[in-house]
Amino acid sequence: MVSPETPSASISAQRPVAAVIAVVERQGHLLLVRRGNAPDVGRWGFPGGKIEFGETVFEAVVRELREETGVRGQALYTMDSVDVLVPGKGRLARHHYVLIAVKCRWLSGEPVAADDALEARWFTPMELGSGQWDLSDRVMDITRQALQP
């Protein structure tokens, strides 16, 4: 029998954490937040967070969008998923998040950083591609998908 203290037991008990990111476009601009917490502290990414037990993906993305930015949105469809693996010791991940990217329609509100966001603002795709912003992984991939007709 494997004791709870052995690495193989603790690894097998870990599970990826399901989370959402809101991909909100308004007049050719995309809404991003600068993260205040790990992972990605200080980097710019789409607003979002963990899905709560009993909450649908669409409910979670609308809630997280409102909590982080004050913006009201309507979830339209799931776009993509992003694996975020936070390194641990050796080859093992300390944390594993699966971010579900959801395209959202802007309904109302101007972004104000709240919850765990340090800043919130609208960006043009050109600004995001300029290289002057420290972006979270896959932001540009998801930006391209979001702006496809």
Task: Say which CATH number the domain at 68 has.
Answer: 3.90.79.10
Q: Has residue 115 got a pLDDT over 90?
A: no
Q: What is the pLDDT of residue 4?
A: 40
Burial of residue 99 (number of CB atoms within 10 Å: 0-12, 13-18, 19+): buried
**The model's pTM:** 0.87
Helix (H, G, I), strand (E, B) or coil at 141: helix
Mean pLDDT for 22-34 is 97
Q: Could you report the per-residue pLDDT of 71-109, keeping only the tens digit for each?
A: 999 999 999 999 988 888 877 778 889 999 999 999 999
Residues facing 97 on adjacent strands: 17, 84
φ/ψ of 60, rounded to 5, equals -65, -45
Catalytic residues, which ones? 119
In a domain, 2, yes or no: no
In a domain, 60, yes or no: yes
**Per-residue confidence band for 125, with pLDDT thresholds at 50, 70 and 90:** very high
Q: Has residue 1 got a pLDDT over 60?
A: no
Q: What percent of the chain has pLDDT over 90?
A: 75
Q: Residue type at 62?
A: V
**Per-residue confidence band for 8, with pLDDT thresholds at 50, 70 and 90:** very low
**Per-residue confidence band for 13, with pLDDT thresholds at 50, 70 and 90:** low
Range of the domain at 12: 7-146
Q: What is the pLDDT of residue 89?
A: 80
Q: Has residue 2 got a pLDDT over 60?
A: no
**Domains in the chain: how many in total?**
1
In a domain, 130, yes or no: yes
Burial of residue 28 (number of CB atoms within 10 Å: 0-12, 13-18, 19+): exposed
Who has greater pLDDT, 13 or 9? 13
How many other C-beta atoms can be found within 10 angstroms of the C-beta atom of residue 65? 32
Question: Comparing C-alpha atoms, which of 123, 128, 141, 118 is closest to residue 26?
Answer: 123
Burial of residue 4 (number of CB atoms within 10 Å: 0-12, 13-18, 19+): exposed
In a domain, 136, yes or no: yes
Residues facing 42 on adjacent strands: none
How many other C-beta atoms can be found within 10 angstroms of the C-beta atom of residue 123? 18
In a domain, 1, yes or no: no
